[in-house]
Amino acid sequence: MKIVFLDSISIGNDISLEGIKKEGELRTYNITDEKEVYSRIKDAEIIITNKVYVGKKEMESSEKLKLICVAATGYNNVDIEEAKRRNIVVANVKDYSTESVAQTVFAYILEFQNKINKYNNDVKKGEWEKSPIFTMLNHTTFELKNKKIGIIGYGKIGKRVSEIAKVFGMEILVAKRKGVEYKESFRYSFEEVLKESDMLTIHTPLTKESLNMIGKKEMELMKKNSILINTARGGIVNEEELYWALKNNELRGAGLDVMEEEPPKMHKKLFELDNIIITPHIAWASKESREKLMAGIIENIRDYKKGEIEKINIWRK
């Protein structure tokens, strides 16, 4: 059984592939260009892809292809309808990055509240040495207790964020999705969450409905001293309008782990601002998270080999 991993660099060099090697003859490529897909998968029964697109043309080039393992939760890089037509199993991995993403959300929040990097930089520049007293109060810091955190998207990650927030003594505001009726009484209207939150964190997929969900209109509703955090998908927050809001102090700050274009070539003027933290789509990528992802891929391959297709075939769910 031949297995091809098209973009193994996406899970890092510190994650072992030995488990996959036990399941078949593994061939790995760090990166695969669009033009290289055809030749690399032509004799594969199983392919593993994180971001490499697999559509009709790619599937046509591999008559033996039976299983596409997506090394992620999202599977928008696979033509599901074409896979269904060809009876090719498509398997993703769910819930592997919950702890990592939730932890990153609070890394942003704590940096904005505690100013650790600002103080660290001041000390290393010799500012503490010049202080006439034992301490320095150059940057105002804030406690999280009694602050309100708004959560847009209340799946596994959103719920984990709320659990951590409760430990800090924060008030949780879970937003309703527009046009959806909820039985739960704890949800607040989308507009109320925008208006009341001291921190707003996004954990919803990128869809037609969520594209540019947070733009100028929404940012104007938010508190001027609030923090906006997006670890979900680029495109949910309008970056041009976020720049306007941060530049004009409509928001106190923002933390972005995702951008419309990755790696970014546009909207780089955001990088010039002091009140934004930008990380390169790494909220999901703790070592433990990537190990869980690899274990999920191996489990999907084993289920396929055992004939347990219903368990992993996402287009039948």
Q: Catalytic amino acids?
A: 233, 262, 281
CA distance 74 to 270: 27
SS3 label, residue 292? helix
CA nearest neighbour of 91 among 69, 72, 75 = 69
Length of the chain: 317
As a whole number of Å, the end-to-end CA separation of the chain is 26
Instruction: Judge whether 147 and 110 are in contact, CB under 8 Å.
Output: no
Beta bridge partners, 89, equal 67
Tell me, rounded to whole angstroms, the distance of Cα 24 from its chain centroid: 30
Share in percent of the chain as helix, strand, coil (round to 5): 40, 15, 45
Instruction: Judge whether 5 and 20 are in contact, CB under 8 Å.
Output: yes
